[in-house]
Structure 1
């Protein structure tokens, strides 16, 4: 398999998954798209190891450990890798051939990939979060590395821009948590809402079991929304810290995240289980907003 073939497989993976936000979209500079797709293919498979299917926690952790070993093994060893979980051998080899090439070409910090795997492993072993710092620490490893990797692929490595990216990426992750609140609870027995925040407002998980929205949960959701929006606002300048088409991609991502948050807060006032999604009208407004920022 050539490097070009490996990147093509990664781009097919990126194109084949539904997400709130476009992955390696046409808003990105063409030179960045293969590298972003390689990062996405690496993270998508690892996230699926942690969440999808009926495998035991032990098996999931073993797959993630294998993913970490392949990341650390170098391109030569990865070229002979077998299938891992549901990912066939050819796709495993393509993912790591492209990922190793991306790390080298774009001078990326390999620890960012390892941080992602740390967060995915935590999803297997941890289902409750005591307080806000615990949630933010998870986001530091599950979301923030993605923004830093994208900036690195774009050639942006300064710390001030990276910190603004961290704020937006954490906000995106939180918005996704509140969007998937009911699904995470019902399907995975997982709750990212800090337990001390629930206790402060007198909210209990009984409402999650019945889909009732009592006054206590309305207060919780309102505070979660306020904290998340504050992070979006804090990180907004990152959208104009880059040039060219990437600026429009970051604007669209920011606008998409804030729209998801707004739609989620509207729904959560009526139901803790319904999952809001972006409409075609929402997407058109996001694209227009990115163009006329």
Structure 2
């Protein structure tokens, strides 16, 4: 049974709130991260029943309501969040969007088309970027839209990287209509072997995700100093994962790509270098 205080270790492709950011931002981002990760783990970790997971996530929403009503949340993590929300004027709806996506993960395991996947990303990923921009103090419409593009791409890239992992949870984020279009069935996915058709499908998904990533990447140049450097590092990390997927011919069953100690110096160098180029030339990292 998953307990609310259980700590689960996670590998992160795209670490947020790293040492690259000014120190003043790290604590509020850590508060936001721990709330989001806690809620995500309620949906995913342990062996709790679906109704218990939903109930726990509903309590997270109840804590948001207490904050909205000016009441003191019951738990320390939401008390900390309340202070951050007040200081940076973060819309509470962004957190509720996250919780709604996590509740969806408990009950929805298939996606009929790409539009359904994008709607999930709109709630599971985009709020994180928007919350960060509120903390950074940059919330104009163009920057929010660029952030949405980056965050959606990050979520999608995680999906394509984690196809085999999600299958173990009986989850398939690859759209059902696109599986059929490429001549694939769920049985083929569960067989655990990368076929030419599967490689073509993942290549298609990765190409589409990379276009979204690069469309949003000018945000990393528009944001100043170390904030921009952090965003460029995240974008380049995602781009590098796509390149690694291509390098193994999209065989996520036996060669799931991750970023290691040798990747980060290259990514950081490229991120610093990209800060000196025009936003019209999005960074790449191969």
TM-score normalised by length of structure 1: 0.87
Alignment of 1:108-119 (within 5 A): 108-119=90-101
TM-score normalised by length of structure 2: 0.89
SS at match of 1:39: helix
1:165 aligns with 147
What is the rounded CA distance, in whole Å, between the counterparts of 2:133 and 2:251 in structure 1? Answer: 38
What is the rounded CA distance, in whole Å, between the counterparts of 2:150 and 2:157 in structure 1? Answer: 10
Is the CA contact 1:179–1:275 (under 8 Å) kept in the aligned structure 2? Answer: yes
2:27 aligns with 34
What is the rounded CA distance, in whole Å, between the counterparts of 1:149 and 1:222 in structure 2? Answer: 31
The CA deviation string for residues 137-175 of structure 1, in whole angstroms up to 9 with x for no partner, is 000000000001001100011011100110000000001
Large movers: runs of 4+ above 6 Å? none
Is the CA contact 2:88–2:135 (under 8 Å) kept in the aligned structure 1? Answer: yes
- Would you say 1:220 and 2:213 are equivalent positions? no
Note the C-alpha offset of 1:111. Answer: 0.5
2:189 aligns with 208
Number of residue pairs aligned between Structure 1 and Structure 2: 266
SS at match of 1:203: coil
Shift in alpha-carbon separation, 1:112–1:214, aligned structure 2, 3 A: same
2:45 aligns with 52
Note the C-alpha offset of 1:268. Answer: 4.8
Instruction: Tell me how large the CA RMSD over aligned residues is.
Output: 1.7
Note the C-alpha offset of 1:209. Answer: 2.1
SS at match of 2:248: helix
Note the C-alpha offset of 1:273. Answer: 5.0
Gaps of 5+ in 2: 1-6, 275-286
The CA deviation string for residues 232-254 of structure 1, in whole angstroms up to 9 with x for no partner, is 11101111121121011001000
- Would you say 1:65 and 2:65 are equivalent positions? no
Is the CA contact 1:198–1:204 (under 8 Å) kept in the aligned structure 2? Answer: yes
Alignment of 1:237-248 (within 5 A): 237-248=218-229
Higher helix content, 1 or 2: 1
Alignment of 1:175-190 (within 5 A): 175-186=157-168, 188-190=169-171
| From 98, 119, 122, the counterpart of 2:80 | 98
The CA deviation string for residues 78-101 of structure 1, in whole angstroms up to 9 with x for no partner, is 1xx2xxxxxxxxxx41x1122111
Alignment of 1:109-148 (within 5 A): 109-148=91-130
Is the CA contact 1:183–1:273 (under 8 Å) kept in the aligned structure 2? Answer: no
2:279 aligns with none
SS at match of 2:148: helix
Note the C-alpha offset of 1:225. Answer: 0.9
Is the CA contact 2:72–2:79 (under 8 Å) kept in the aligned structure 1? Answer: no
